[in-house]
Chains A and B, each alone.
Chain A
Amino acid sequence: MNISDSAQSPGPSSRAQAATLEFREATKRYPGQAEPAVNELSLTVPAGEICVLVGPSGCGKTTAMRMVNRMIEITAGDILLDGQSVRERPPAELRRGIGYAIQQVGLFPHLSVADNIATVPRLLGWDRRRIRARVDELLELVSLDAADTRDRFPGQLSGGQRQRVGVARALAVDPPLMLMDEPFGAIDPINRERLQNEFLRLQREIRKTVVFVTHDIDEAIKMGDRIAVMQTGGHLAQYAPPAELLMHPANPFVEDFVGSDRALKRLALQRVRDVDLWTAPLVRVGESAAEARAKLADSEVPYPLLVDDDGRPLGWLTERALAGERVTDEFRSRPDPVLELDDVLRDALSDLLADESQYGPVVDERGAVQGILSIEILGHALNADPEQVPSGADAP
């Protein structure tokens, strides 16, 4: 991996290369300490995947991450980036080719947003025009208005904006590997969720290899293609895709760490569009009642769902609504909750419980009903084989 080559790639719009990262019995031992901080860590992160290092404080997850760009030197074992040992490269040069984002962001307060992002491009000697174009492209990529943000100082930004600039800065030279240490840790829950989703969307475009450190198992399950659970003493307890981790925890420590609600957490790995929905008995006012009764008989749902001309749900009807010649609008209840195809199953379940409903109509982007999600379907999803569960909520 030649660093100036990787710096030449024009931007996230093109298919950037990603690196394979391999820990080989990597160990960090501090003098005077009986236990190593990281103990013979061996794992491989395939190119283009997000590997989350997760564990309680003091488990060595941050140390493990910092060994990759030699912010902390390994004492035994090795770390290979595309097959080449990181120890063979001068630290400064190595780091310029690896994106680096930390919890406190660490933007340079005395430099404008543009100059912050331009840090590594300048170190690599890019020309002015190219840097400026790249800065604007990156700001747009992280959903910031370039014209408005470019010349501001970090002190003039909100926490979420600072975090986005931090990610943009880490991506500046399109590095094949990103290191992210609790990058969303200091953000309030609402903005954290938004930033997580944005990063996953971004990652689908840029396909970097990412090492992501967090202490939050829910964040790990959401962000990770693979999760490395570490336990005190720097041991790797388990390295597996999220679904497997939740289905088959390797030992009591992992089982305890993922939580007693791990069955429920598995619902966070699937979206409504991933399960087989029930056919909805859709009826319209004025439609023949006989036809409507036939649809109802074919459906697992016991009530007809009234929709408007565009197929949008209006409400559940009583049986009396089908008693005459034509369907009438005798409502039984509102159609709540209305679910979307992209909703995570856990959120869908939560919505059903909140509305004390057995069934929820599922709508597409235009709001037209595509099917019905029921508590029963969710029950089946919980018992599904992990092999068939996608490895991350972001999977297609």
Chain B
Amino acid sequence: MSALLAQVQIRERTENTCVSDNGFCPGWIVDNFDRYLTPFFQHVLLTVVAVGIGFAVSFTLAVIAYRRRWLVGPVTQITGVLYTIPSIAAFFLLLPITGRGFLTATIALVAYSLLIIFRNVLTGLDNVPDETKDAGRGMGLTSRQLLWRVELPLALPEIMAGLRIATTSTVGLATLAFFAGAGGLGERIFDDITFKSNVVVAGGLAILLAALFDGMILLFQRAVTPWTRAAQ
């Protein structure tokens, strides 16, 4: 376990003063960029799987709690506790049970995303205007039809907003996933935290990834909610 944080030698002895001075060296970055590809895709996979599972679980919980209001309190409290556990602590708590690796990291990341998505889905559903629901019921939509055809579509802006927050924070948290032995860009950062070129590339890729996910979800949201932009 002590080897976990040991510095890895990623630099060969070199005449290049920029590299030996821990500077920001474009030449070195170009030569060594392929080192970052595997961690980058590990990071993508961690985020997608964790947010995917987190969304499926919290969306289901929110839809159930929307009809059975007594569930809102307990679900909010439990997911709230999960949200406040520091993820590093969660990784180490899970290690004895699930061992080192992808599964442990995913469980912790999923647990962290639940509260955000649950709250937003529920808020979105609660914000559907009463008269819209009344008209729908009055025209003969069953509660299932009302949910899928009216309530969930109208909750999409809030649902998507929750998904964006959950995704960007998961990208950030996944930089700690290597503590659970799941790799990712965080592993590269901690390989040599004194070397600016390394930190900038690994950290930059994480930021880029977060921005990319955010932009993709935003574009998807705009595509599926055309009515929100229809001007008066």
Contact = CB atoms under 8 A, between A and B. Distances in A.
Interface of A: 69, 71, 91-97, 100, 102-111, 119-120, 123, 152-153, 155-156, 166, 169-170, 179
Contact of B150 (A95, A96, A108, A152): A108
A96 B231 CA distance: 32
B96 interface: no
Majority secondary structure of chain B interface residues (helix, strand, loop or mixed): helix
Contacts of B139: 95-96, 100, 119-120, 123, 169-170
B232 interface: yes
Contacts of A170: 139
A305 B132 CA distance: 58
B181 interface: no
Given A106-B129, A108-B150, A92 B141 contact: yes
Given A95-B138, A96-B139, A108-B150, 13 more contacts: A71-B134, A92-B141, A93-B140, A100-B138, A104-B129, A106-B132, A108-B136, A110-B150, A110-B153, A119-B141, A156-B230, A156-B231, A179-B138
B181 to A, nearest CB: 45
Interface centre among B134, B140, B145 (most CB of A within 10 A): B140
B154 A106 contact: no
Interface string B118-146: 00000000000101111111111110010
B135 A106 contact: yes
Contacts of A156: 230-232
A104 B227 contact: no
A278 B141 CA distance: 58
A109 B154 contact: yes
A102 B140 contact: no
Interface of B: 129, 131-142, 145, 150, 153-154, 156, 225-227, 230-232
A156 B139 CA distance: 23
B213 to A, nearest CB: 25
B227 A100 contact: no
Contacts of B138: 69, 71, 95, 100, 102, 106, 179
Given A108-B150, A110-B153, A95 B131 contact: no
B150 A71 contact: no
Given A102-B131, A106-B132, A108-B150, A155 B227 contact: yes
Contacts of A108: 132, 135-136, 150, 154
A153 B227 contact: yes
A131 to B, nearest CB: 15
Contacts of A123: 139-141, 145
A322 B142 CA distance: 78
A102 B134 contact: yes
CB-based closest 10 A-B pairs: A106-B135, A96-B140, A104-B131, A95-B140, A100-B138, A106-B131, A153-B230, A153-B227, A92-B140, A110-B227
7 contacts: A95-B140, A108-B150, A108-B154, A109-B132, A109-B154, A123-B141, A156-B231
A104 B130 CA distance: 10
Given A109-B154, A110-B153, A156-B232, A92 B132 contact: no
B140 A94 contact: yes
Given A105-B131, A109-B154, A95 B137 contact: yes
Contact of B134 (A106, A109, A169): A106
A381 B103 CA distance: 89
A156 B135 CA distance: 19
Contacts of B131: 102-106
A231 B129 CA distance: 30
A208 to B, nearest CB: 16
